[in-house]
Structure formats: structure tokens, C-alpha cells
Chains A and B, each alone.
Chain A
Amino acid sequence: MSRSTETRPAWMGKPTPFASVSRALGIVLMCALVIFPFLVVVSTSLATQTEIDRNGGYVIIPTEISFEAYRQIFNGTQVTRSIIISVGITVVGTLFSLTCTVLAAYGLSRKGSLFQKGLLTFVLITLLFGPGMIPVYLMVKNMGMLNTYWALIIPGAVSAFNIIIIRGFIQSIPQEMFEAARIDGASEWRVLWQLVIPLSRASIAVVGLFLAVGYWNNYFGPLLYLTDTDKWPLQLLMRSFVLQNNISSTAQQIPGMVRPPQQAVQMAFVVISTIPILLAYPFLTKHMSKGMLTGAVKG
């Protein structure tokens, strides 16, 4: 315990044993509240039917590991397709959104350039007013984007908040570098590509990751705009599959095969849709607080 006093200032005094113990308990409790549900989900997805039945619907630590549920999920054509759709929307959406955002952030970063003030105001006003669900829906419909993936990507692609975050980073690049580049005769496009993007790579990566998480998690967009169930991405399928217990249409039955435990398949579904988030998570935590704070809105 001696290490814990290292950073403690002298004036603070030693904590009482009671304080130390309750603090430790608090930490354990907080972490357990988050981790325990995941443990149950992962364990149940790996358990066998008999064990789940014996326990009555869930398993905390499986005694026998079975990957039947995952095999089943990747057999079902609809599930496999929904994963591909979700990945596609996430990749294309993030690229499109990020391109618009970075271009606009650089285009608006130079004080005193032509129309800069007016365009910045145009962007910032959107932080104050939202147009509402119905008018946007009707716009998407009138543009013929209903039941296409573009409806999930384009309407929400540009967020003033993201533009302001990246713009802030671009403005913190030393001005001398721009001057040098311009004296050397570099065009704006070249400055953007060879100077701005390499130097603000970290902030662009963070915004990109947040965008990707948003596209991956989006469930209302597809519900609103995709009428064709064949086009459903993972989140929407998971809703009907896990929350509405609609298993028969999703899992293909192979004659003679043991039907995998329904609970396990549902939980396997949850695990699969969580994995991309967990993979991106280390990168998110690395930069997120920095991005959150330095991105604090500057007009």
C-alpha cells in the first residue's frame, strides 16, 4: 500500500482504513455493474442447451463450451447479410462524413478568407435548431432516397460539432507552416493533403471513430428509411431477433441438426454486434477525453 502515498500531497493526511476500504469497494462495485452483464451474455452464448435449461435461461460460467450458436448465426443468410450491410454502411458512411467534415473544417479555418464568416455562421446555426423528424423524412422521400442506404448516410453526414472540433485542431497548427508552404507555391489542395491532414491525423481519427460507432449503432435510421427487410442492418435485425424473439425467420434450419439453444443464439448475436465496438475501444479511450476537451466549441 506504500505506493498509494506517492502522489498524495502532505496536507491531505492519511485516509482512514474505513475510507480506503469503502473506496476500494466502490471501485469494485462500479466495475462489476458494467462487466457482469457482459460476462453473463458471453457465457450464455457459449453454453449448451442442457446447461442453459438447467439454469433456467442463462449461464454465468459455462462448464462446457459450445460454438453451436455462432455456427448457427453465420449459417443464417439474413444474419450474415446484415453484418455485411452494417459493415458497408459504417465504412462508406464514415468515409463520406469524414471527407465532408475535414474539407469543411479546413475551408473554414482561415479567418478573413472570402465568405468565411458567413459560411461559418451558416454551419453554426445548425447547432441551435434541428429541423425535426418529419420534414427530414419527407425530404429524403422526395429525393427518392427512401429504402436506399444513402438515406442512412447522407442526411446526418455533416455535423457542425465535428467540423468545429477538427477546425480547432487545424487552427492550432503553427501559422508559419502555412506561410512556408505557400511561399513554396503549394496549392490549397496540396496544403490540405500534405500539411493539414498529416498534422491533425489524431483528431481526424477520433472523429472518424466516433462517426463509425454512430453508423454501426444506428437503429432508428434503418427503421425509418428502410422498408425492405432484406436491407436491414445488424442493429435492426438484432432488435427483431433478440428483443422480439423472432428467431424462426433468421436462423436457417438444417434437417437433422440439433437446434441450438435460442438463448445462446440471441446472446451470440449481442456478442457479435459488440465486438467491433470493443475493437475500436482502445483507440477511442486513448484520444477521447483529449478530443472532447480541446474540441470545446470555439466560434
Chain B
Amino acid sequence: MAIDVKSTAPAPVRRLSRKDLQSGEPDRKVPFLARWRRDYPLLIMVAPAVIVLMLFTYIPLLGNVIAFMDYVPFLGIRDSEWVGFDNFTALFADAGFWNAFSNTLQVTALQLILFFPVPIMLAVFLNSVMRSGVKKFTQSVIYLPHFLSWVIIVALFQQMFGGAGVVNRFLINNGISPLDIMSNPETFKLLITFQGIWKDAGWGTIIFLAAIAAIDASQYEAAAIDGAGSFKRFWHVTLPGMRPIIVLMLILRLGDSLTVGFEQILLQRDAVGPGAAEVLDTFVYFNGVVDGNWGAATAAGLLKGVVSLVLVLAANKFAHKLGEDGIYKS
């Protein structure tokens, strides 16, 4: 993931140690024991992080084997029965899984169409604001919702759009029948997309603003001298300048296709029911932790992880084909 917005990578500098200073030997010629004596404090420093990652990332990664087991917590991994691909077969026969899968893809599609362009447009708009005071103030305001918890965001939406909220009260006072916004399964996916926009679109402008700032101003000047109006300058200078970052963000989003606002949806799932609100992550949670179908839930989670990895690699490959750098350079 090389987001090369501002390349500050330090030049590789040869590090000196007391040993080095005495002998002037390059690193690889320093014997192992001497390196050990020299570097062991660094290893001690890395140790806590390595232990935490080992315990809560690597070992659980191996723990995914229970996707191929009839896992019974009482028996543990050692004594639970191996069932091969039975969990996956059961999963594919489960209408609930396909419902969650389809909901996830629908939400992702909505987010790509409605959410993804918003930060780009906001960044272009903010960039056109000349007064730096006004610009800074606006930025501080629109970044703020990013830092609020989903519980607060949902509470705010409830207060604005709920049955007794500001909008419906206004409609009722004006003799219009109230709208069911917060608990309507039909429009639930739109609702969570707009909540996502409200929370994170402002924050998302940061990276695009940086991309715009990195565009050479003389390009604009040249375009203007050649008679390009503001729209043409946007189309032929700004947009091409932003393209690598847009492609990068798109790849990251596509790679995350199967991850859609877990906490956000979990909070509101009860209001509309699982038919409209169940996504893969909530499916894993309810199936596994709540209902105790450990094997099947792990299978669903593992499937999601593998597909996500394939998606991100495929999207990246596609970007290379288009001549973009993507996440890593080819």
C-alpha cells in the first residue's frame, strides 16, 4: 500500500554502531553474536507488538481451520470432528447466507455510485474556495462527524428523521403525512449509504485535496493561456492530476466490497429486520457468536476474507493494465 502522496522516504543511511566505528566493517560482515549483542535491545522493544500480533492475528488466522470442523467449544479444536467442506456446502444451501451476500453487494454498489464521488466533488469544491480562513473552518466542520461513534450518528439521524424527529414533525405541522425513514426496509440501504456520506465524505476529501495540491500550478496557467475555461481546466488538468489517487481509492474500496459498515448496520438491524439489513459481517456475528454455529460462521468469514483478498489483487492487476500504479508498483 504505497500511497505516494508526499514522498518523504528517507535516503538509506548506513547506521553506525560502536562495533562499526571500531572496525569500519559493513553490516553483513559483523558476526551474528556481535550483531546480537548490539541489537538485542531492539528485539526486546519489538517483542510486545509481535506477541500481540501472534496471539490475536496469526494464531486466530490458523484458527480458521474450524471452518472445516464441526466445532464444539467444549471439545476444543483438538477433539472436534473434521467435516471437510460440509460447512461450506451447508452455507451455500442457506438462503440466509445468500440474502446477506446479496445485501452486501447491493450496499457496496450503492456506496460506489452515491458515496464514492462525493469526497472527490467536495475536494474540488473546497479547492475552489480562495479564502484560507473560510476553507479551514469548513474543513474542520465537515471532518468532525468522522470522529463520532456510530451510536451517536444513529442517534442524531433518529432525532432528525425518526418518527418524532425534526423532519417528520415539520411535515405533520404542515399537513403532510410523515415519512418512515428510519425503519423502512425498502429504503434501508439508501439510508445507511447517506449516513455513511454524512459521517465520512468530509474526511474522505483529505486525500483528494492533497492530490489536487500536488498538481503543478503552471499547468493551469498554460491551459488558461490556451483559452481553457474553468470547466475545461477542471476536466483536462485537475481530473487527470487526481486520477492515480482516485484509482487507488477505488481499488481499496473494491477490495473491501464485502465489508460494509458493520457497526452501523448492527445498530439498526432490529429496526428493519434481517431481510433488508443482514450483511456478511452481521451474518457471521449472529450465526456464530449469538447462535453458536461456529463452524458455519467461520466458513462464511473465511470465504469473505479469501474473496476480498482475490478482489483486491484483481482490481490492482486491472489498474496495472490501465497503466496506473495501483497499490503496489508492478
Contact = CB atoms under 8 A, between A and B. Distances in A.
Interface of A: 3-9, 11-13, 23, 26-27, 30-31, 33-35, 37-38, 40-41, 44, 55-58, 60, 99-101, 103-104, 106-108, 110-116, 119, 122-123, 126-143, 154-158, 160, 163, 168, 171-172, 175, 178-179, 182-183, 187-189, 192, 213, 216-220, 223-224, 235, 238-239, 242-243, 263, 266-267, 270, 273-274, 277, 280-281, 284-285, 288-289, 292-294, 296-299
Contact of A11 (B2, B41, B173, B225): B225
Contact of B285 (A111, A133, A156, A189): A133
Given A111-B15, A129-B309, A274-B148, A243 B155 contact: yes
Contacts of B61: 129, 131, 135
29 contacts: A6-B130, A11-B225, A13-B224, A26-B125, A31-B137, A58-B164, A58-B166, A107-B44, A113-B35, A115-B43, A129-B305, A132-B64, A134-B294, A137-B288, A138-B60, A156-B56, A160-B53, A182-B18, A183-B21, A216-B149, A217-B148, A217-B149, A218-B149, A223-B266, A235-B149, A238-B155, A273-B151, A294-B6, A296-B3
Contacts of B58: 126, 131
Contacts, number: 300
A134 B301 contact: yes
Given A100-B49, A277-B148, A114 B202 contact: no
Contacts of B53: 122-123, 126, 158, 160
Contacts of B304: 132
A14 B66 CA distance: 66
Interface of B: 1-6, 8-10, 12-13, 15-18, 21, 27, 32, 35-36, 38-46, 48-50, 52-53, 55-61, 63-64, 66, 73, 76, 122, 125, 128-132, 134, 137-145, 147-152, 154-160, 164-166, 169, 172-173, 198, 202, 206-207, 210, 217, 220-221, 224-225, 230, 262-263, 266-267, 281, 284-285, 288-289, 294, 297-298, 301-302, 304-305, 309
Given A7-B132, A154-B56, A37 B298 contact: no
B301 A132 contact: yes
Contact of A103 (B49, B56, B151): B49
A114 B155 contact: no
B249 to A, nearest CB: 13
B147 A284 contact: yes
Nearest to B228: A11
A108 to B, nearest CB: 6
A157 B169 contact: no
A288 B207 CA distance: 11
B202 A34 contact: yes
B46 A103 contact: yes
Contacts of B285: 133, 224
Given A37-B160, A56-B164, A108 B15 contact: no
Nearest to A157: B52
B149 A132 contact: no
The 4 closest A-B pairs by CB, nearest first: A57-B164, A135-B63, A107-B45, A217-B149
Contact of A238 (B38, B137, B140, B151): B151
Contacts of B217: 9
Nearest to A191: B41
Contact of B206 (A12, A243, A292, A298): A292
Contacts of A281: 140, 144, 147
A58 B159 contact: yes
B105 to A, nearest CB: 19
Contacts of A132: 60, 64, 284, 298, 301-302, 304-305
Contacts of B9: 298
Given A100-B48, A243-B267, A30 B155 contact: no
B166 to A, nearest CB: 6
A289 B210 contact: yes
Contact of B52 (A100, A242, A292): A100
B83 to A, nearest CB: 16
B207 A113 contact: no
Contact of B66 (A107, A135, A285): A135
A68 to B, nearest CB: 19
Contacts of A57: 164-165, 169
Nearest to B44: A107
Contacts of B298: 132, 134-135
Contacts of B55: 139, 143, 154-155
Identify which of A3, A9, A107 gathers the most chain B CB atoms within 10 Å of its CB: A107
A141 B129 CA distance: 53
Contacts of A4: 130-131
Given A34-B142, A217-B147, A243-B154, 8 more contacts: A6-B130, A60-B166, A100-B52, A183-B21, A187-B41, A217-B150, A273-B152, A293-B206
A31 B138 contact: yes
Contact of A134 (B3, B140, B289): B289
A40 B64 contact: no
Given A114-B43, A179-B16, A296-B5, A30 B49 contact: no
Nearest to B37: A114
Contacts of B284: 132-134
Nearest to B255: A128
A131 B57 contact: yes
A134 B293 CA distance: 10
Contacts of B150: 217, 219
Contacts of B156: 37-38, 41, 270
B15 A289 contact: no
B281 to A, nearest CB: 7
Contacts of B172: 56
Contacts of A156: 56
